A and B are shown apart, each in its own frame.
Chain A
Amino acid sequence: MRPRISELAWRNLVHDKVRLLVTVTGIVFAVVLIVVQLGLFLGFVTATSGLIDRSHADLWITAARVPYIEMGVPYSERKLSTVLATPGVVHATKYIVRFSQWQRRDGRQESVQVVGFDADQALGAPWNVVEGRATDLKLADNVFVDELYKDKLGVSRIGDVFEVRGRRARVAGFTRGIRSFTTSPYVFTSFKNAQDYATVPEDQTVYILVTIDPSARVDDVRRALLANVRDVDVLTTGEFSRMTRVYWMFTTGAGVAVLLAALLGLVVGVVVVAQTIYATTMDHLREYGTLKAMGATNGYLYRVIIQQAIISALVGYSLAMVVSWFVVRGSVKGGAAILLPLPMAIGMLGLTIVMCTGAALVSINKVTRLDPATVFKS
């Protein structure tokens, strides 16, 4: 019976269905816009360093001063034995990531990135394999490509045969959702094939991936590797991932554009929410004036308005997440992934509440400065 503040806030909201619809629509639009922009940014960031992040390696040994994964420079694979002999190293394997040319059956050339790894080890192997087995790549000429790029590469089924830089390549399996940030799809194959496909000299590798003894300290192993192996950099997976992300996101204009779009989405979202919440509060200005005249404290009014904002935020967020889920799902098969990981979804809830209450605070300012004498005006 007692019109608790939350009930007053709720009733204020639901009384005018059209206004509520406008408010919630504004919030949904804003949240979806932000989710799409941030999700795209996250998708791009994740794509740039996916090979590194999913490599299972602790350390990456690169030629000196390699700035990002696509810019690897070949060096002597004899360093591998030195690496393996270094205290703290458990596994080490050669690894190649290099651009090459894929020739479709219709003769069209497509740029690809050949990823060569030791098919006997898990280090650097493809993930999300949906057809075929990683061990199939031990066989000569076998490659895996991602389902996303079937059309681009002209692949229809396992067994299809193509040419990579003039050498035979037989599709032996497919991965799902391994996107390349560049427009060149990844082609996974054995290290040996990759040397041929990417014209890496027979006695050279582009990277050495290392796993270390869990009891060893990364810095100690790194120091030891740097002391034993000359003319290389030794990077943790995190460091190399960060370098690659920073390069693509900030050194090139690509990431900056996506990030700006995300920020723009955030700003537009905040403005839309602010406007709708502000308009809702203004609609009830006379009632707040009446409450003030009746002796309501500013604190009481704050609570009503903030609760209205939070209710709007929760309703808008819930609907926005449903819409976002469909958008994210729809993007799975597209060229650009929109990611919505749980932490981001939770963060969006916080952001939505902050946006709505922030907008409400703007209107609160109006309410607290409201002259209660206005209630005497008919």
Chain B
Amino acid sequence: MNAIIQAYGLTKTYAQGEAAMRALDEVTLEVRRGELMLLVGPSGSGKTTLLSILGCILRPTSGMLRVLGEDVTGMKERDLPAIRRERIGFIFQAFNLFPTLTAAQNVALALDLKGIGGRVARTRAVSLLEQVGLGNKLDAYPADLSGGQKQRVAIARALAGDPPVILADEPTAALDSHSGRAVMDVLKTLARERGRAIAIVTHDNRMLGYADRTVHMEDGRIVADERAEVLEGAVA
């Protein structure tokens, strides 16, 4: 299956006093295997809401969402953690690492949620951190890492469960341009070489060059959906 995430007519409405605020309005899109998709648009356009729904941490008011072909829209609340655990990796703007755990333990924590522990978890955590160039920072605490290094730990953590989907919210916003590019290089490689479907919310125009596809949002709707060929032409 090429389309790992399939969303049809996703709408999200929030009550705002007596009125209702429509954060997402009939959004339909697919995220495919090996594709790095950027979600761009002004603040309040619904990017993060869409990302939250795609990540099964927010329920749409209406519409349907399939993850790996399975309709998750009607699932019970208690079944959703397993979907997030097994199929989706998250990367956050503020890294959201556990300050009390070392880099390796942060990665192993994601494995712990899947019931994997001990040497297996350690080995896999070490391997993942080496993949993101942090083999020498296994026992460092987040406070001792730079922003770029923290985000790479977060990427390793997102990959720990070997999920087919990676969702990232402004992963480069807190980084300098060099670190931002390094992070995007890692994500691009994951999409290209590992076949992950990657959706990234960003305001950072410097990242456009990494995208296979850029989805523009405004007022909760998709207003443009551009493929890389078009983008490359535009950037050039």
Contact = CB atoms under 8 A, between A and B. Distances in A.
A2 B121 contact: yes
B57 A286 contact: no
Nearest to B47: A376
A2 B108 CA distance: 6
B118 interface: yes
A23 to B, nearest CB: 15
17 contacts: A1-B108, A2-B116, A2-B122, A4-B117, A12-B100, A14-B100, A15-B99, A287-B98, A293-B84, A294-B113, A295-B83, A295-B114, A296-B81, A296-B85, A373-B57, A376-B52, A378-B174
B117 A2 contact: yes
B86 interface: yes
Interface residues of B, number: 46
Interface stretch (B68-76, B87-95, B145-153): B87-95
Contact of A378 (B58, B94, B125): B94
Interface in A357-378: 371-373, 375-376, 378
Nearest to A286: B96
A290 interface: yes
A192 interface: no
Nearest to B158: A294
Most buried by B among A5, A298, A372: A372
Contacts of B112: 2-5
A15 B113 CA distance: 21
A72 B144 CA distance: 77
B208 interface: no
A340 B16 CA distance: 57
B143 to A, nearest CB: 10
B110 interface: yes
Interface range, A side:
20 to 34
A293 B93 CA distance: 14
A250 interface: no
Contacts of B37: none
A291 interface: yes
Contacts of B170: 378
A17 to B, nearest CB: 12
A297 B122 contact: no
B199 to A, nearest CB: 13
Interface string B124-162: 010000000000000000000000000000000100010
Given A15-B100, A287-B98, A292 B57 contact: yes
Nearest to B96: A290
Given A300-B113, A376-B48, A11 B81 contact: no
A5 B94 CA distance: 23
A290 to B, nearest CB: 4
Contacts of A11: 98, 100-101
Given A293-B55, A295-B82, A8 B93 contact: no
B23 to A, nearest CB: 11
A376 B109 contact: no
A1 B139 CA distance: 10
Contact of A295 (B85, B100, B118, B173): B85
Contact of A8 (B92, B101, B114, B173): B101
A9 to B, nearest CB: 10
B92 A290 contact: yes
B25 interface: no
B31 interface: no
Contacts of B169: 376
